[in-house]
Amino acid sequence: MTYTVPKLKNYSAAALGKAAGKLVSALEQESAAVKNETVWKEFRDRWVGRKSGVLTQINELWLKAAPKEAKREVGQLVNELKKEVENTVELTLQRIRTGAAESRLTAERLDITLPGNHRPLGAEHPVIKTMNEIVSVFRNLGYSVEDGPVIETDYYNFEALNFPPNHPARDTQDTLFVANQESKPLRERLLLRTHTSPVQIRTMEKMKPPIRIVIPGKVHRNDPPDASHSPMFHQIEGLAVDTNITFGDLKGTLDHAMKALFGSSVKTSFRPSFFPFTEPSAEMLVSCFICGGSGKRGAEPCRPCKLTGWIEILGCGMVDPNVFEFVKHNGYDPQKISGFAFGMGADRIAILKYGVDDIQLFFNGDVRFLQQFA
């Protein structure tokens, strides 16, 4: 029941209107029946095809055949119908295209609740990460990073740090010694540095005051491995020397650093201690950043601070004048300059910070452990 263009016998307004009405209703019917692009192409050709499309036909059969006096009116009508037809053909295409796209999108739908594909990132080692964090706090205070050898001489590890030969303070260091050194003078004998402090001397030998340095690095002691000991661990040392450094500056600097590291609410406390290379010497405590200083976690006792609300975190002090005597030639006259030094164990801080219960976990490369720090 396809639409065919009739010849017009009557060019009255009523007859024209009726013919146009039939055409438009046929157009709408056919348009509605178009379901895909192939059918649409036939539809398009039948209505707007140049050779025998409906538009061409009404031009031929209606306009050209119209009497002169009706030409104007028929022309107008044909123009309107042309617009209508072209518009409908275009809209029909749009309609079926939208429909197709929609059904394709529906077919392509994924289960977005399935898990994502992970390309795992490597994790920073918790101790190195802790060291970097501490170093960056001091960098912001104007400290440069220095380093030095892990295998040291007795001179740098002990003598120049005011541990005289045969001094009992050497016993506290549990030193690992290099073999076959007996033929050398004591100060040249090699050992594994027991602290990062030798780098203080090495730096003061090469740089004049003022200096501000931090020294992250590995140290070794003769401690058989267990849950809280390791023969190798990491320290961060700090040294500031200038013409006007005071004990108050030592306290203020470390208090600032601890707040930067553990949060602005932590408090610090200093108590006297003994290190051969500092005088006065101190041990610094921070208010426990796990229990907030209360000694309790809910109803449970806080183990990291042993219920005291305080954690011993580092040793520090004013640089002993005897130490400056060893580098006096390079501008370190203890009468004119002063300084402070501090040292802390990075492994211990990482243990406290992350609640790790066995230091051995740091050094066996267990991916299940390391990935927790990703």
Partner 1 sequence: MKLSSQWVREFADLKVDNRQLADDLTAAGIAVEAIAGEGENTVFEMEIGTNRPDAMNHYGVAREAAAIYNLLLRPIAPKLPDPGSAAAFPIEIQDATGCVRFTARVACDVRVAPSATRIAQRLALIDQRPINNAVDATNYTLWEMGKPTHAFDLDLLEGGKIIVRRAMNGEKLKTLDGVERTLTSEDLVVADAKKPVALAGVMGGFDTMITEKTRNLLIESAWWDPVTIRKTSRRHGLHTDASHRFERGADFESTLLSCNRVMELILESGGGQLQGNVIDVVARRLDQAPVALHISEVHRILGQKLDTQVIYGILHRLGFELIPERGGEFDFTVRIPSWRLDVEREIDLIEEIARLYGYDKFPNTLPAFAGSVVEQADSKKDEKLRSSLLGLGYNEAVSLTFISHEDAETFSNAPVIELANPISEEASIMRTSMLPGMLNMLSYNLNRGTNDVRLFEMGSVFQDQKTGMPRELKRISLGRTSPSPQQGETWPTQLFFDLKGDVETLLHAFEHKTLSYDSHLAEYFHPGRAARVVMDGATVAQFGQVHSEIAAKRKLRQEAYVAELSLDQLYRHGLRQIRYEALPRYPAVERDFSFLFPNEIIFAKIEQGVLSLALSELRSFKPIEIFRGGKLPAGKYSILLRATFQSRERTLREDEVADWSKQIVKALEKLGGEQRA
List 46, 82, 95, 251, residue binding partner 1 (CB under 8 A): 251
Stretch that binds partner 1, among 18-26, 58-66, 245-253, 296-304 (CB under 8 A): 245-253
For position 353 contacting partner 1 by CB under 8 A, the verdict is no
Residue with smaller CB distance to partner 1, 40 or 138 = 138
Q: Quote the CA–CA distance of 76 and 78 in Å, as a whole number.
A: 5
For position 253 contacting partner 1 by CB under 8 A, the verdict is yes
Residue with smaller CB distance to partner 1, 45 or 147 = 147
For partner 1, the binding residues in 264-283 under the rule CB under 8 A are 269-274, 279-282
For position 249 contacting partner 1 by CB under 8 A, the verdict is yes
Stretch that binds partner 1, among 30-38, 51-59, 61-69, 315-323 (CB under 8 A): 315-323
For partner 1, the binding residues in 158-177 under the rule CB under 8 A are 166, 168-169, 171-172, 176-177
Q: Quote the CA–CA distance of 4 and 7 in Å, as a whole number.
A: 10
At residue 72, what are phi and psi to the nearest 5 degrees?
-60, -45
Residue with smaller CB distance to partner 1, 38 or 335 = 335
Could you tell me how many residues make up the chain?
374
For partner 1, the binding residues in 176-235 under the rule CB under 8 A are 176-181, 190, 192, 210-212, 218, 220, 222-225, 230-232
CB neighbourhood size of 220 (10 A): 19
For position 245 contacting partner 1 by CB under 8 A, the verdict is yes
Residue with smaller CB distance to partner 1, 75 or 334 = 334
In a 13 Å sphere around the CA of 330, the CA atoms on its Cβ side amount to 16
Residue with smaller CB distance to partner 1, 232 or 290 = 232
> Which among 203, 270, 275, 214 is positioned nearest to 239, based on CA atoms?
214
Q: Quote the CA–CA distance of 239 and 202 in Å, as a whole number.
A: 12
Q: CA of 135: how far to CAs of 203, 217, 254, 300, in Å?
A: 17, 11, 13, 34
> Which among 55, 67, 63, 73 is positioned nearest to 17, based on CA atoms?
73
Residue 79 CB, nearest distance to partner 1 (Å)? 47
List 84, 242, 325, 358, residue binding partner 1 (CB under 8 A): 242
Residue type, 158: F
Q: Quote the CA–CA distance of 142 and 124 in Å, as a whole number.
A: 25
Q: Quote the CA–CA distance of 106 and 99 in Å, as a whole number.
A: 11
Q: Pattern 119-148, binding to partner 1, x per CB under 8 A?
A: xxxxxxx-xx----------x-xxxxxxx-
Number of chain residues interacting with partner 1 (CB under 8 A):
83
> Which among 49, 54, 52, 44 is positioned nearest to 5, based on CA atoms?
54
For position 82 contacting partner 1 by CB under 8 A, the verdict is no
Residue with smaller CB distance to partner 1, 41 or 167 = 167
Query: What does the block give as tokens for 342?
Result: 């501090």
Residue with smaller CB distance to partner 1, 73 or 147 = 147
Residue with smaller CB distance to partner 1, 43 or 143 = 143
Q: Position of tokens 């059969």?
A: 61
